[in-house]
Amino acid sequence: MRSWWWLGGLAVAVAACDPEVEDACQQASTLSARLELGTGIEDFERPIADGDLVQVAYGMQGGQHVWMGVRTTGLLPGQHRTLGNDRDVPVFELQLLDEDGLVQGEQTFDFFAMSGTAEEATLALGTFFVPFQDEGTKREWTLVGEGVDVCGTIVEDEHPVLLRW
């Protein structure tokens, strides 16, 4: 995954400017930070476990996608405001790695506040683009996720999966 140090520093700088965010960061820091990758079209539907068979969906323009959702603990979910003012939303990055650890798909999600609180929040990320078609059920992939909030808290999760085409 990319180094999040610069984003974490920026997040802390933004948080330091807003006493409300500063208080929320202090409260969230008492929780054990955790990210759980899952599936979900409109919200987080179910967690992904090691070895799961993940369904690939076909888009209207011929692309292949996996519908992704995340559930977090100890991460500030952001506030639901107009998009132009949402500086406090968490940023998530997903990668799909092949058996050699090479990135075969990568996408960043940074435009929506989550539903919930720092104790538990969920978000349907939308579609994660899969740039190829393969005999997925015969080949293991690793789905890796990383997130960072406005406090600079970083969470990670990864699972070996099979893709169902």
Write down the pTM of the prediction: 0.84
**CATH number of the domain to which 113 belongs:** 2.60.40.2550
Angle, vertex CA 114, rays to CA 158 and CA 129, nearest 5: 50
Summarised one tens digit per residue, pLDDT across range 17-52 is 678 889 999 999 999 999 999 999 888 999 999 999
Q: What is the pLDDT of residue 5?
A: 46
Average pLDDT over residues 9-24: 66
Q: What is the pLDDT of residue 6?
A: 46
Distances from the Cα of 28 to the Cα of 15, 56, 124, 131, 157, angstroms: 13, 35, 21, 36, 19
Average pLDDT over residues 6-17: 50
Name the pLDDT band for 3 (thresholds 50, 70, 90): low
Instruction: Return the bridge partners of 154, or none.
Output: 148
Average pLDDT over residues 141-149: 95
Average pLDDT over residues 86-93: 84
pLDDT averaged over the chain? 85
* Total tally of structural domains belonging to the chain: 1
Summarised one tens digit per residue, pLDDT across range 46-69 is 999 999 999 988 888 888 889 999
Which range of residues forms the domain containing residue 44?
Answer: 5-164
Residue 160: strand, helix, or coil: strand
Residue 119, pLDDT > 60, answer yes
**Which element (helix H / strand E) includes 20?**
helix 19-28
Average pLDDT over residues 129-155: 85
